[in-house]
Amino acid sequence: MNARPTRILGIDTSCDDTGVGVVELAPDGGIRVLANRVWSQTIHASYGGVMPELASREHVERIDAVTGDALAEAGLTVEDVDVVAATSGPGLVGALLVGLMYGKGLAQALGVPFYAAHHLEGHIFAAASEAELRPPYLALVVSGGHTHLFDVPREGEYVLVGATRDDAAGEAFDKIARLAGLGYPGGPAISEAAQRGDPEAVPFKEPLKGQKGFDFSFSGLKTAALLAHRAGARPEDLAAGFERAAVSFLLKTTLRAAQAHGRDTVVVSGGVAANRALREAFAASPVRAVFPGQGLNTDNGAMIALAGAAALRAGRPPSPLSEGAVAYAPLANA
Ligand code: KG4
Ligand code: ZN
């Protein structure tokens, strides 16, 4: 019915990144990323964690410029936007509110539909930048705040198969990197140091060995790293040993779940999906592993635009403009 592609602008301000992206949905259902701009806040570095009030304030200051940059990158003007999508949760409420209100205001001013998006659904749909993503599939979301494994039997239906019992995967990378003095964010720092280390030097036991379910846990690996650090282990050996143990644990658990649910496609997304060792391990595994494209692993706006495009394509009705921001919002609905 629509002769030209539909342009969807997506916004994510759930934590400390101001992300705006633009995707287009072709009349044949094909989805393409046109732009992805992220302003990563550095103001929190000296606090050792994200300061919610500062994050909100920075989003307010940056959102308009980042949106302008994303539209320029896409070669569009604001009048070309057909649909607006923004993250409504989960995340820091004050931070979420900035992108959500900006998105709703923009949709209302332009007179176009608005979609409130779930942050984790955004992470999953980031992989739609690389491959046609149609259920059924399994989705592993591994970020700084989440380690969740979902079965996706149908479009828009998410069944929680497993989750972390303590730290998120990215959180473990960040904490061990800090312990070993490797810097922040920990994921890339560990990955880089691991290449110079000996993965055999520090013993790391497989977490939750023998479990029947598909849960995750990183506290044991963290304790092992702490004890080894106190005993004088080299940071690069800690990094190599931890990375290998974490990757093997994530892979094994996910492959068991894929087999149990009869899925041969696995989406791996979230910040930790940028990890090279994890990508190589999944690529060499028997499942068809789909990862987000470059710049789409960590928090961004294009993934929210991709989730909006998928919702639109599936015929989901737009969200009411009364939609609020929510700190806690489970994705699984079954
Ligand atoms: O998805 P994201 O930007 O934020 C959340 O929604 O939490 O993920 C950030 C997390 C951080 O913990 C960071 O250390 C981790 O992703 N990360 C990585 C890599 N790049 C980022 N972890 C492992 N290897 C990487 N290359
Ligand atoms: Zn995230």
- Whether 5 lines ligand 1, by a CB cut-off of 6 Å, is no
Nearest C-alpha neighbor of 130 from the set 32, 38, 37? 32
- Whether 275 lines ligand 1, by a CB cut-off of 6 Å, is yes
Q: Write down the pLDDT at residue 91.
A: 96
Q: 332 vs 253, which has greater pLDDT? A: 253
Top mutation candidate among 40, 143, 190, 218 for ligand 1, by most atoms within 8 Å of CB: 143
Q: Is 17 helix (H, G, I), strand (E, B) or coil?
A: strand
Inform me whether the pLDDT recorded for 180 exceeds 80.
yes
Closest listed ligand to the CA of 272: 1
Q: What is the pLDDT of residues 86-112, one digit of tens each?
A: 999 999 999 999 999 999 999 999 999
Q: Write down the pLDDT at residue 81.
A: 98
Q: 234 vs 49, which has greater pLDDT? A: 234
* Triad 312, 67, 33: Cα angle to 5°: 45
Inform me whether the pLDDT recorded for 120 exceeds 90.
yes
* Beta carbons of 87 and 37 less than 8 angstroms apart: no
Q: What is the pLDDT of residues 22-49, one digit of tens each?
A: 999 999 999 999 999 999 998 887 787 7
**Phi, psi of 313, deg, nearest 5:** -65, -35
pLDDT band at 334 (very low <50, low <70, confident <90, very high): very low
Beta carbons within 8 Å of 60's beta carbon, 6+ residues apart: 98
Q: What is the pLDDT of residues 202-217, one digit of tens each?
A: 999 999 999 999 999 9
- CATH topology (fold) of 6-126+297-313: Nucleotidyltransferase; domain 5 (3.30.420)
Q: Write down the pLDDT at residue 111.
A: 98
* Beta carbons of 85 and 305 less than 8 angstroms apart: yes
Binding-site positions for substrate read 141-145, 174, 187, 275
pLDDT band at 126 (very low <50, low <70, confident <90, very high): very high
Q: Write down the pLDDT at residue 143.
A: 95
Atom index in ligand 1 nearest the CA of residue 170 equals: 12
Say what the pTM is: 0.95
* Beta carbons of 255 and 287 less than 8 angstroms apart: yes
The mean of the pLDDT values for the chain is 96
Question: CATH 3.30.420.40 region(s) of the chain?
Answer: 6-126+297-313, 135-290
Inform me whether the pLDDT recorded for 15 exceeds 90.
yes
- Whether 295 lines ligand 1, by a CB cut-off of 6 Å, is no
- Indicate the residue type of 81: V
Distance from the alpha carbon of residue 299 to the mean position of ligand 2, in angstroms: 5
Distance from the alpha carbon of residue 70 to the mean position of ligand 2, in angstroms: 19
48 token code pair: 């050792």
Top mutation candidate among 18, 173, 222, 331 for ligand 1, by most atoms within 8 Å of CB: 173
- Whether 270 lines ligand 1, by a CB cut-off of 6 Å, is yes
Nearest C-alpha neighbor of 148 from the set 298, 247, 250, 219? 250
Atom index in ligand 1 nearest the CA of residue 171 equals: 12
- Whether 173 lines ligand 1, by a CB cut-off of 6 Å, is yes
Distance from the alpha carbon of residue 201 to the mean position of ligand 2, in angstroms: 32
**Phi, psi of 326, deg, nearest 5:** -130, 130
Distance from the alpha carbon of residue 1 to the mean position of ligand 1, in angstroms: 40
- Whether 274 lines ligand 1, by a CB cut-off of 6 Å, is yes
Mean pLDDT along residues 229-250: 98
3-state SS of the chain: helix, strand, coil percent to 5? Answer: 40, 20, 40
Distance from the alpha carbon of residue 142 to the mean position of ligand 1, in angstroms: 8
- Whether 13 lines ligand 1, by a CB cut-off of 6 Å, is no
- Indicate the residue type of 170: G
- CATH topology (fold) of 135-290: Nucleotidyltransferase; domain 5 (3.30.420)
Distance from the alpha carbon of residue 264 to the mean position of ligand 2, in angstroms: 25
